[in-house]
Structure 1
Amino acid sequence: MKKKIVLYTLIVIAIFIGCSKDSDLLPNENVQIDKSANLLGTGASAADLLANSNYDNLLIEIAYVEGFRPATEAITIFEEFLLARTFKEDITFTYKQLPSPNEESLTLNEVVELEDENRTVYNNGSTLALYIYFADAPTESDDEGAEAVTLGAVYQNTSMIIYESTIRDLVGNSSFVTVSDVEAATLNHELGHLMGLVDLGTPAINDHEDQEAESHCTTEGCLMRAELQFGRSMLKMMQSNASKGLAAIPDLDEECLLDLQSNGGR
């Protein structure tokens, strides 16, 4: 009888230990994520994004409303731009499909709230994290009468929104420019701001900031021209390039490249 009691006791202990080991593998919901390094002003992480001194890995979370996922071609072009302009070589993309917030337009405060609710990646160790949200609604500041529809914006040091529904409406049935072209151009332009252009965390070596459009470039045809942020002006520029046999998506001019290189970029 004593042997049986000992045996039962051992079995109970073994089961308890086994359950304890399994529970150790479960995520601890009480662990607090340090978000502070990702809640800074635009351009504050420019040097970290460009160089590998503090972060040599880049993790990019693509959050998108169902039905508004960006084209694979656009993300490929975006990655190529990152590899060309920064020293980051270990770049990972993750995708997260989200329900629609069911808003006719989005305020900046609403965009920030959506990120707080849905973002899952933050700086960790040697990994710098970016968050990009593809929205199904335009910004509330759009003025279609003035043709000033906004295609994208940055609002924190590692945060970006792309107004995907606006891009799709803008491109329509264009013969020269595709949705993926405009997506890529918008992504690259907004990334330029996160990299500190123009004089937005990356000091300008020479004076080339547009005094009528803060943080944008004065050089004709540059990726950082102000019209690259606003719909119909961007479309006209890209259609003009394509009709001349040039690349539809603009690139950075020499002044912007010089600025990036001085702050740790390629």
Structure 2
Amino acid sequence: MITRIRTFLRLALLVGAFVGCTEHTQPDPQPEEPEEPEEPIENSIQPADFLSEEKYTQLIVEIVYIEGYEPTNTSKYHLLSLIDSRLHKKGVQIFAKSILSPGEDDFSLETLKIMEEAYRTNETSEQTLVVWIFVADGHYSGNKDDNKILGLAYGPTSIALFGKTIKDYSGGLNQPTTAVLESTVLMHEFCHLLGLVNNGTPMITNHQDATHGHHCSNQDCLMYYAAETSQFLGHFLWNTPPSLKDQCLQDLKNNGGK
């Protein structure tokens, strides 16, 4: 009996050693591949998403401005009128808040993106499309010579207005009012998000300014290049913002707008 027990124990030890050795020689499991971060929805927004209500039925306009540079009620009114007359949306909301100055005299494109990342609180989701508008208390770092940039659409849902530059070129003798110039720049940049000119919304007939990129060749149109620069003074009336002309209107309607 004792001999049988000893034999059984020897077999048990051999089996245990074999199993232990087998487990030890198995390769370690492969580490899981890290998940790639999802691309922000904003990066996939197309002009037609603004114009139609196929994907987004609601629109939020988030305005963040440096203290002392809040957009005028007039410019907000003109923007809402543009949205109402050209976009198919069941609801539109505007939120505005002020922040302290970052202490920059000039804002580069990189700085604008940093400000947006830090202060943008609303993101596009489900049926709600969100636009970000930042009003800086300085100038654009890419200004050249005497041609100053007043505003910039730098992403599918992102706009910057250079409030200090707008004030420098408005409200004085032989200058438009700040409300008129600011309204013009704000609507002009918003229309870039709508794909004008030939910037995501196809042209029915060719009216693109070959010299100034995605702008209209009609000098009376809101999308003429001078509407976003200090050259505004030499091209437009000063008592009212310019409007979109027929070719731009046809393009928007053809791409899902009103």
Q: Which residue of 2 aligns with 1:152?
A: 151
Letter aligned with residue 82 of structure 2:
F
CA distance in 1: counterparts of 2:135 and 2:49, whole angstroms: 24
Letter aligned with residue 78 of structure 2:
I
Contact 2:41 2:125 in 1 (8 A): no
Residue 39 of structure 1 and its aligned partner are, at CA, apart by 3.1
Q: Which residue of 2 aligns with 1:36?
A: 40
Which ranges of 4 or more aligned residues in structure 1 deviate by more than 4 Å? none
Q: Which residue of 2 aligns with 1:111?
A: 112
Show the 5 A alignment for 1:175-190. 177-190=176-189
CA distance in 2: counterparts of 1:112 and 1:192, whole angstroms: 20
Letter aligned with residue 164 of structure 1:
G
Contact 2:131 2:158 in 1 (8 A): yes
State whether structure 2 residue 115 is matched by structure 1 residue 123: no
Letter aligned with residue 258 of structure 1:
Q
Secondary structure at the aligned position of 2:139 is classed as: coil
CA distance in 2: counterparts of 1:90 and 1:74, whole angstroms: 19
Q: Which residue of 2 aligns with 1:138?
A: 139
Contact 1:56 1:88 in 2 (8 A): yes
Residue 237 of structure 1 and its aligned partner are, at CA, apart by 2.6
Secondary structure at the aligned position of 1:81 is classed as: helix
TM-score (norm 1): 0.80
Higher relative contact order (CA 8 A, sep 6+): 1
State whether structure 2 residue 241 is matched by structure 1 residue 249: yes
Residue in structure 2 matching 1:235, options 226, 233, 236: 233
Contact 2:153 2:160 in 1 (8 A): yes
Mind listing any 5+ residue stretches in structure 1 that lack a counterpart?
1-32
What are the superposed Cα offsets for residues 6-48 of structure 1, whole Å, 9 maximum, x if unpaired? Answer: xxxxxxxxxxxxxxxxxxxxxxxxxxx97711135xxx42101
Aligned residues: 222
Which of the pair has more CA radius of gyration?
2
Residue in structure 1 matching 2:256, options 252, 259, 264: 264
Residue 248 of structure 1 and its aligned partner are, at CA, apart by 2.2
Secondary structure at the aligned position of 2:93 is classed as: strand
Secondary structure at the aligned position of 1:113 is classed as: helix
Residue 149 of structure 1 and its aligned partner are, at CA, apart by 0.5
CA RMSD of aligned residues (A): 1.7
CA distance in 1: counterparts of 2:226 and 2:61, whole angstroms: 26
CA distance in 1: counterparts of 2:85 and 2:174, whole angstroms: 29
CA distance in 2: counterparts of 1:134 and 1:35, whole angstroms: 26
Residue 77 of structure 1 and its aligned partner are, at CA, apart by 1.0
Contact 2:175 2:233 in 1 (8 A): no
Show the 5 A alignment for 1:44-55. 44-55=45-56
Letter aligned with residue 256 of structure 2:
G
Q: Which residue of 2 aligns with 1:69?
A: 70
CA distance in 2: counterparts of 1:142 and 1:261, whole angstroms: 34
Residue 117 of structure 1 and its aligned partner are, at CA, apart by 0.6
Letter aligned with residue 189 of structure 1:
H
